[in-house]
């Protein structure tokens, strides 16, 4: 959920003004705020106030710079997390692998079967797999949209344990291409359609390994600072949100070319 634009903008403006005021009060020329008398502090605060009122664009510039630095810091933090969690991200036994299992580049997707943007991204992932015989795709079921998503994830995780990668990909596409909200009923129907052993499926859903697999994805997402779906990892870069086919393909091509998503 996001704050309303007017409230969020006002909050950021107040924060930026506070930062600016704090910089003035803690600048090298005024090393210790305690050295100022109450009257001097009042004068300084008025100077800052008057300057901001006269030059309000400074607040906008400060907010933009703050957001820029936050994005850089977040990207660096995610890159470190990719390095630290490399094995679990790319080679965990608790994940589905589609495309070429021995591909030279791996694309990881964290998704929720009830995520509208994930449903839209299905066409992108399918096109990438179909057009790139060397692409390896890892699917991580990040069920964050309620109890139905969790139940669906449990069924998908159990289905993965018995289906071949090709059959699981078929199952995955059936679920993500289903319109509207889905849950246990739709997931069981999709599993049956692709030929899953339904008795085994029910048993595997209750296994501790199934719950552990889902918990592993949640823990990974927290470490990656993923707060939504779809979220992606390619090379050493991690990012959140649906991206057009061309942008993801360019990142994949660049990883092959120079080892980074941007050459």
Coil, strand or helix: which one is 93? coil
Q: Which helix (H) or strand (E) holds 77?
A: helix 57-84
221 to each of 44, 162, 200, 217, 239, how far by Cα in Å? 45, 25, 29, 6, 11
Binned at pLDDT 50, 70 and 90, residue 36 comes out as: confident
On the 0-12 / 13-18 / 19+ scale of CB atoms within 10 A, 83 is: exposed
Structure tokens at 10: 């006002």
Task: Give the dihedral sign, CA 143/149/151/157.
Answer: negative
Each residue's pLDDT tens digit, 145-197: 999 999 999 999 999 999 999 999 999 999 999 999 999 999 999 999 999 99
- The answer to whether residues 255 and 261 touch, using CB atoms and an 8 Å cutoff, is yes
pLDDT, tens digit, 9 for 90 and up, residues 117-156: 999 999 999 999 999 999 999 999 999 999 999 999 999 9
Indicate the average pLDDT of the chain: 86
Domains identified in the chain and CATH numbers: 5-55 (no CATH), 86-258 (3.40.30.10)
Bond prior to 230 in cis (omega within 30° of 0): yes
Confidence of residue 34 (pLDDT cuts 50, 70, 90): low
Q: Return the closest-CA partner of residue 142 out of 35, 37, 230, 261.
A: 230
Burial of 44 (0-12, 13-18, 19+ CB in 10 A): middle
Phi/psi region, residue 39 (left: phi>0; alpha: psi -120 to 50; beta: rest), is alpha
User: CA 8 from chain center: how many Å?
Assistant: 22
With tokens 């036994």, the residue in question is 93
Q: What is each CA distance from 174 to 47, 51, 52, 180, in whole angstroms?
A: 63, 59, 56, 13
């Amino acid at each position: 959920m996001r704050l309303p634009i007017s409230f969020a903008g006002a909050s950021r403006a107040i924060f930026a003004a506070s930062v600016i005021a704090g910089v003035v009060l803690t600048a090298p020329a005024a090393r210790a705020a305690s050295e100022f008398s109450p009257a001097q502090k009042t004068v300084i605060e008025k100077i800052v106030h008057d300057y901001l009122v006269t030059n309000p664009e400074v607040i906008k510039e400060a907010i933009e710079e703050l957001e820029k630095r936050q994005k850089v810091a977040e990207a660096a933090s995610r890159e470190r997390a990719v390095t630290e969690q490399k094995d679990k991200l790319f080679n965990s036994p608790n994940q589905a692998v589609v495309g070429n299992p021995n591909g030279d580049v791996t694309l990881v997707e964290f998704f929720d079967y009830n995520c509208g943007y994930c449903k839209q991204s299905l066409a992108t992932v399918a096109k990438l797999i179909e057009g790139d015989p060397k692409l390896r795709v890892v699917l991580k079921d990040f069920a964050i949209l309620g109890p139905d998503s969790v139940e669906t994830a449990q069924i998908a995780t159990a289905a993965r344990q018995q289906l071949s990668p090709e059959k699981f990909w078929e199952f995955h596409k059936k679920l993500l291409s289903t319109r509207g909200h889905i849950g246990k009923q739709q997931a069981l129907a999709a599993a049956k359609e692709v030929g899953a052993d339904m008795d085994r499926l029910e048993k595997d859903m209750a296994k501790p390994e199934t719950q552990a697999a889902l918990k592993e994805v949640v823990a990974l997402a927290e470490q990656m600072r993923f707060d939504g779906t779809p979220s992606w990892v390619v090379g050493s870069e991690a990012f959140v949100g649906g991206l057009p086919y061309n942008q993801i393909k360019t990142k994949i091509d660049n990883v092959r070319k120079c080892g980074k998503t941007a050459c």
